[in-house]
Amino acid sequence: MTVAVVGPTATGKSDLGVALAERLDGEVVNADAMQLYRGMDVGTAKISPAERRDVPHHQLDVLDVTEDASVAAYQRHARADVTAVAARDRRAVVVGGSGLYVRALLDHMEFHPTDPVLRARLEARAQEQGPGLLHDELAQHDPHAAHRIGRTNTRRLVRALEVVLLTGGPYTPALPEHRYVTPTLQIGLDCDRRALDARIEARVARMWADGLVEEVRALAGPDLQGMGRTAARAVGYAEVLAVLRGERDEATARSDVVTGTRRLARKQMGWFGRDPRVHWLDAQAPDLLEQALTLVARADRGQAPDPGQRRRTLGS
């Protein structure tokens, strides 16, 4: 059975994942989209080699910052990792807070086809003519999709038109049913809102002290163009890039990173909170590891967890 540790940022998922892997003869499979990138260490709070304590980690540092992350590609590679871990008679411990990546790995989920040439052509049109014309074209092919997507949302408009033009059918980015590909236990880490906000503020302060600005400067290069769209939009990196471009001061950027990270945490909790299969534990519990191991043992025996752990909400 695969074990997944999910939930908001700054709740201690990486530490619990390593501890579970140590006790369960396991290997960690990353499910944080930004931790796929090489060199994005400080700003993603990526677990260091020393903190991994010799536990094998997969899907860390597999992309260059110039590349755009792909959920479909991640699904292929991460599922191959999980299969390989099982073949070694070890336990896969999935760790991360990127909801779509977690679902793509764990659940039955198929993706629409892609065409890089067509996508580049659509992106060029959006840049030259504005996204509104793409929205008008999408409305002709798929009025329902056009109604759901804003006229200025270039990324979604390009993707929707790409699918419509490739398939000749509607763009329906429906999420999969809550149905695992293989038996899985999801453990969610919840945290009191005030405590989580304090954790986030402390984490951002630590990132600045550990050299976040220097990390972004090195990744972006002398012309500040060295990062691709996905990497450059990550919380922390986007704000520091604005500082390096002279668009805001460092104190404002740091405050913005705190605010953006708190917003991300609420979004993550909303995503995972809608999944009835997640079994929630208090991230601040002194016996957190033992509680998690009890859940795993019960799941391995085919027993249901304590109903009280079935659903929590941030700040409960």
Write the CA distances from 33 to 143, 144, 145, 280, 282, integer angstroms: 31, 29, 26, 22, 24
Whether 174 and 166 have beta carbons less than 8 Å apart is answered as: no
Burial grade of 160 (CB within 10 A; 0-12, 13-18, 19 or more): buried
The answer to whether 46 is a known ligand-binding residue is no
Write the CA distances from 267 to 9, 38, 264, integer angstroms: 10, 25, 5
d(CA 99, CA 85): 22
State CA 214 to chain mean position distance. 24
Smallest Cα–Cα separation from 26: which of 89, 107, 101, 81? 89
The answer to whether 13 is a known ligand-binding residue is yes
> What does the CA dihedral 299, 5, 14, 72 come to, rounded to 10 degrees?
130
The answer to whether 26 is a known ligand-binding residue is no
The answer to whether 152 is a known ligand-binding residue is no
The answer to whether 12 is a known ligand-binding residue is yes
The answer to whether 97 is a known ligand-binding residue is no
Placement of tokens 């929205």 in the chain: 135
The answer to whether 10 is a known ligand-binding residue is yes
Binding residues: 7-14
Binding residues for substrate: 9-14
Binding residues for ATP: 7-14
